[in-house]
Structure formats: C-alpha cells, structure tokens
Structure 1
Amino acid sequence: MPLSPPGRWRTCIFASMAPLLQTRSFRSDAALEALAKASQDKVPNLLLYNYPSFSGAFSALFAHLFHSRLNLPCLSLPFSSVEPFRIDDLCIEGLERCYLLDFLGPNGFAVEFARRALCEVISFDHRKRVLPQIPSEEDCPTNLTFHVNLEKSSCTAVYDYFSTILAGSEYHNGMDVSLLEPEDRDRVEMVLKYIEDGDLRRWSLLDIRAFNIGLSEWRSKLNCVTNPYMYEQLLDISVVDAITKGNTYNSIRQKAANKLLDNVLKVRLGRGFYGECLGVRAHGNSALSDEIGKQLSVKSAAAGLRFPSI
C-alpha cells in the first residue's frame, strides 16, 4: 500500500469541496451534496465525528491523518444530535468502512446502519450512558465493532487505535510511520491528557478548569464543513496557551467582580428575624454571579453572617 511522504497534509475530500460547503447546519444541502459526490466517486471511507466535541474533533484528526498517511480516500463530516444524518443519507455507493468517532448515534442507530449499509462500522465512545445501546453478541451485526472504554476518552482511544495500526509500517525511506510529526507529538499528547481529564470528570490536572475555559473559544471552529482548516488548527493547540487564555479570562472577570464587591451591603433577612447576610447590587452583571457569590461567601463567613445575597 503506497504511503504519503512525511509532510503534514495531503489534499482531502472535505478540503477540496470547501467552496461548496457554505452553510453552518449539519444535515445541510452542502453535506448531502458531499455525500452524493462521495457516492459518485465510490469513496470507501467515511469519518463521522461528534460535534461540537473536542474529543470528537481530535478523533477525526487522527482518523484523517491515518488515511492521509496511507493515501486512502475518505470523507469527513460532523455528526450533530441537533439534526443528525439519516441512515439513508450515509448508505453511499462503494462505502467499505465508516467510523463513528466519539458517539454511537441515536438509540439503535449504529446497529441499524451496520445492517443496512453492509460496510464495516467502527464506533468509539467513552460515556457510560451509551452502554445500553450495545447489543448482545448474538444481536450485534458481525460488521459492527464497539470501542467503549469508560476509563479512556474517545480521542485517546482513537489515537491509540490508529497508532497501533501504523506501528509496523515504514516509509519508503526507512522512516517509521507515525500519525503525528515529532515536533507535534508531545504537544498534542498533552492536549489529549487534558481533554481526557475533563471528559472523564476527573478534574485532577493542574489548571484543568482554566484549560477548558481557554479551549472553549475553539468550539465554534470544530465543523470541518465550514472550517476546512480545522485539522491544522487542532494541531496548533497547546495546553500552555489554553491555560494562559483561561487564566486571563478568569482574571478579567474577577477584576470586574471586585469592583462590585467594593460596595457590599448588609442585608437583613425577614427584617432581621432570619439573620443578616452580605449582598451587592449586580444589576446587568448576572454573568459574574459565580465570582461574586464565592467572594461574598468568604466575606459573610468571616463576619459570622449567613449566605450572601446577589
């Protein structure tokens, strides 16, 4: 099987069709047109990823890199539960393999799709709530595989999956095949650790909450239909930059909250019958209620008063 050179990018279907894909919806005319063209061209591989999930987007990145390395044609599309694709949309001619990345679809979707499409369907998820969707071995189509690991985020599982497949391959010049270039590997793997820490609700890594806040600005860019540069942008994300942005955002909000906290009021509850607490007038600043509430709680506790009022 011919391998692509070690350069980062190769022209892909989603990128070459970018001028056609202008709408922001998901089961849109543009997305259906992309599927129709893939059917006409008999594209054998379809990558559907959970939108707007970072685990889904990074899973799509790794699937994309895998197919690029091996020069395998593929079509990438976001899959949204808001307006999901119908099974008939996805049963395209020539389809050999479909990946469901970071989702299993609506209840029964994966099983029905595997039965009707007759292609290999490989799905990844890490959420406990999807376990009831997995049928017994007797009821599961032989062309359907579930990779559901509650201890590993989907993006990490997909990264490991495609890395393992490539592990034994070599470029024509003797270089080892890898999903990621050496200059990207450490940075991207650290991003995966932080995404997994949030996905699995561990919240154990240093500055994980600041990371999630800083990362959130990218969420609107996770649609490869409207953003043909999504994969390059995902590769450029770093934990340090995301944490810095998150801390800056938190600092700005805290400074705004502190200005309001300079005018703390003592509030009598039930004309004093239920005690007193501290409060502030925060009209028009409800978005700062979290920061204000935490500081008022500290001040009220120090003064021996009840819970604060905002």
Structure 2
Amino acid sequence: MHRLLARASRWHQWRPFPAPLSPPSPPHLRYPRRFRSHAALEALLPHSGATAAASGGGGELSVRHLALYNYPSFSGAFAALFAHLYHSRLDLPFLALPFSSFSVDISRFIPRVIAFDHRKSTLARASQLGKCPDNLELRINTSKSSACADEFSSLLSEEDENRLSTVLRYIEDADLQQWKLPNAKEFNIGIRDERAKLNCITNPYVFKQLLGWDASKFIVKGDSYVSSRQDAANKLLKKPFTIQLGRGLYGECLAIRADGYSDLSDEIGTELSRRSATAGLRPIGAVVFMQRGIFKMCLRSTDKATNTSEIAKAYGGGGNSSSSSFPLTMDEYNHWTSTNS
C-alpha cells in the first residue's frame, strides 16, 4: 500500500498532505486571483488542516488529500483523474480542484505541498525562489509529462489502459513540444474544445469523460477541421501574384489578398510558400489583408533555412522563422507590387 501511495504521489499535479497534529489555521489569502473561482477557495480552506471525525465516543483524526490540478491543462486533468482513481480504490478522503497558477504562498496554509511540473519555464522560475519552505517540495521533470498511465495500470482495465496510454502519449508530445507522433496536429486540433470541460467544479462528470477518451476519434475530428479549412483556403489560391519583399531587398515571393479571411492566413501562406519555391522564388508565402483598419501582411515559410521574421522586424512586426506578420502602409505595399501593374 505504501508503495502504491508513493507511486501515486509522483503523478498528480499537486498533492498536499495535512499534518497529523496541530494544523495551522488558514491565514488571509494574499493572491485569491490565482484560483479560478470562489467555489475553489471555499472548498480548499476546509482541507487546509486535519479534521477530527466523530467516531463513537472519541475523536478520530481524518487525513484528507487534496489534488490541485493545473486548469485548463490536459496532463493536469489526467493527473487528477489518476489521483481520484487511486483514492477511490483505497476509499481515502480526497478532493480535486482546478488551479490556475501555482504560488509558493499556498504552503503557508497547507501543511505539506508536493508540486509536479514539466515546463521549462517553471524550472527557470524555481531557480529564482531561493530556499523553499520546509513543507514545500518541487518535482520538475522537463523530459516527462505530469501524467502517465503506466504508473497506474493497476487502476485501469486493459482496454482503458491501452486507449488512454495512446491519448497520454499525444498529450505528452504536445506538452514537451516534440511533435513526433503521426497526426499530432490533427489530434491537438480535435482535442482543444475539450479544455472547457476540464473544470471538475462546473463539470462533475469530467473524470468519467476522461476515461472514455479515444485518440483516434480526436484525430478524425481534427483531420476533418483541417481539411475544411484547406478547402476554403484553396478557393482563395486561384490568383496569386508576385511581390517584391522590401522593394526587392528580400527577394520575391507569391502573395494573395485575403480580405475577410485573415483566419486562413496560415493555410494560405503555407501553400503559397510551397508554390513560390516551385516557381523559383523565395520559399515564402505572403497573405495580405485589412484587419480592424490596419493593412497587414503575414508571411509563412516551409523552408527551415528561411527566416521570415527578419522581414517582419524590419517593418515593426515580429514572429519566428516560419511565421511572422507586420503592418504595412498602402503606399509601401504599392511599391512592393509595382512590377505587377
């Protein structure tokens, strides 16, 4: 049992343990905005210490375990699910609550806190904390997601284990920004609408729903979405034209006017990048549109050696090597397209 408890503690996102004797009274919360709702605060405070449960004529100490999971994080929700399954199996008092952002201050009114994370940004912030409070333990592993079905195989049926292990591999692939799995883009598109359902306060059926997740269904949903957007983008790709980037300073590429379709700029620009390369131009696709009164150009490239951001930054914009955008005056734009007139 102790071994199972140790294994369980490795994976759910936050696992505070009330002290067995003389629990501290909860002080005033300095950062209530870090909680998603007042309901979360009200549910948390009673669990900030051990409580005496009446049993016959005497008082028996009841230890409550609390899992604060990162919301709306998929790995956080699954970590809370496994904690829920573990405590249900052993019939232990347990409460799971959505938590938006971890603060060291929580250790002031929770007797013991163990925090799990996989983000490099958290690791960087942790190094700035200095000495942690004695009752706070940080476990940060940037090579593994915060939830893992392998550690809880005994809590799942064989069918659920096989299905959920695939789901968690895709979630970990995205968490660690590896993007190595096939159809990773489609999976993450298909799953994104589920974020709103991960709050166990507003959705009491969330754990049951998570147990039924199937990666193949999310991939099909995402693929359908991608296909529909690509079909819409293809209708706008019939009449591309050549522009001189930076009046020719950055070479030439294909472009499209997409007023009213700025949401398709990624699909349009990516395809234009391929067509530009085939046409012997720079492997960049330029999508131009008017947005809220501002004339804007988005650049996309499928070529790893091409850096679109150098163009964007020269005109007050930004982005990364494969995707960038910037505002442009109409007069300047006319200079870029003057060879087409």
TM-score normalised by length of structure 2: 0.63
Match of residue 98, structure 2, among 69, 72, 78: 78
Whether the 8 Å CA contact 2:233–2:264 is kept in 1: the answer is: yes
Compute the displacement of 1:220 (Å).
Answer: 1.1
2:48 matched to 1:48?
Answer: no
Are positions 1:211 and 2:197 aligned together?
Answer: no
Deviation at 1:39, TM superposition (A): 6.6
Match of 2:265 among 264, 268, 289: 289
Deviation at 1:74, TM superposition (A): 1.4
Q: What secondary structure, in the 3-state scheme, does the structure 2 residue paired with 1:61 have?
A: helix
Instruction: Describe the superposition over 1:216-246 as per-residue Cα deviations: whole angstroms up to 9, x where unpaired.
Output: 1111111111111111111111111111111
1:147 aligns with 2:146: no
Give the alignment's Cα RMSD to 1 decimal. 3.0
| Counterpart residue number, 1:126 | 118
Q: 1:40 to 1:270 in 2, by over 3 A?
A: closer
Amino acid paired to 1:248: S
Distance 1:129 1:268 in 2: 39
| Post-superposition offset of 1:292 | 0.5
The match for 2:276 is 300
> Equivalents in 2 of 1:264, 1:199: separation in Å?
37
Shift of 1:49: 0.5
State the 1:298 CA deviation.
1.7
Are the counterparts in 1 of residues 36 and 98 from structure 2 also a CA contact under 8 Å? no
SS in 2 for 1:155: coil
User: Could you tell me whether the CA contact under 8 Å between 2:187 and 2:215 is conserved in 1?
Assistant: yes
Q: Is the 8 A contact 2:48 2:109 kept in 1?
A: no
Q: CA deviation at 1:145?
A: 3.0
Distance 1:292 1:45, change over 3 A: same
**3-state SS in 2 of match to 1:47:** strand
TM-score by length of 1: 0.69
Given candidates 148, 160, 168, the residue that maps to 1:184 is: 160
Q: Percent identity?
A: 55
Counterparts of 1:21-32 in structure 2 under 5 Å?
A: 26-32=35-41
The reply to whether residue 117 of structure 1 matches residue 94 of structure 2 is no
Specify the alignment match of 1:277 in structure 2. Answer: 253
2:197–2:206 Cα contact (<8 Å) kept = yes
Q: Which residue of 2 aligns with 1:172?
A: none
The separation in 1 between residues aligned to 2:85 and 2:171, in whole angstroms, is 19
Does residue 309 of structure 1 match 2:286? yes
**Maintained 8 Å contact 2:49/2:110:** no
Which residue does the alignment assign to 1:201?
A: 177
CA 1:57–1:279: 2 relative to 1, 3 Å: same
5 Å-filtered alignment, 1:215-294, equals 215-267=191-243, 276-294=252-270
How is 1:32-71 mapped onto 2 (pairs within 5 angstroms)?
32-36=41-45, 42=51, 44-71=64-91
Q: Identify the range of structure 1 (235-244 vs 124-133) with the bigger mean alpha-carbon deviation.
A: 124-133
Q: CA deviation at 1:67?
A: 0.9
State which structure, 1 or 2, has the greater radius of gyration over its C-alpha atoms.
2
CA contact (8 A) 2:86 2:155 kept: yes
**Secondary structure, counterpart of 1:154 in structure 2:** coil
Residue 112 of structure 2 aligns to which amino acid in structure 1?
Answer: E
Describe the shift of the 1:146–1:276 C-alpha distance in structure 2 as closer, same or farther (beyond 3 A): closer
Q: How far is 1:65 from its partner? A: 0.9
Q: Residues 140 and 38 from structure 1, CA distance in 2 versus in 1: closer, same or farther, beyond 3 angstroms?
A: closer
Distance change (3 Å), C-alpha of 1:262 and 1:151: same
Larger proportion of strand? 2
Q: CA shift at 1:78, angstroms? A: 0.6
The whole-number CA distance in structure 2 between the counterparts of 1:127 and 1:249 is 29
> Deviation at 1:296?
1.0
CA distance in 2, matches of 1:129, 1:275: 37
Counterpart AA for 1:119:
P
2:48–2:111 contact (8 Å) kept in structure 1: no
- RCO comparison, higher one (Cα < 8 Å, 6+): 1
* Structure 1 residue 119 displacement after superposition: 2.5
Structure 2 vs 1, CA of residues 301 and 78 (structure 1 numbering), >3 Å: closer, same or farther? same
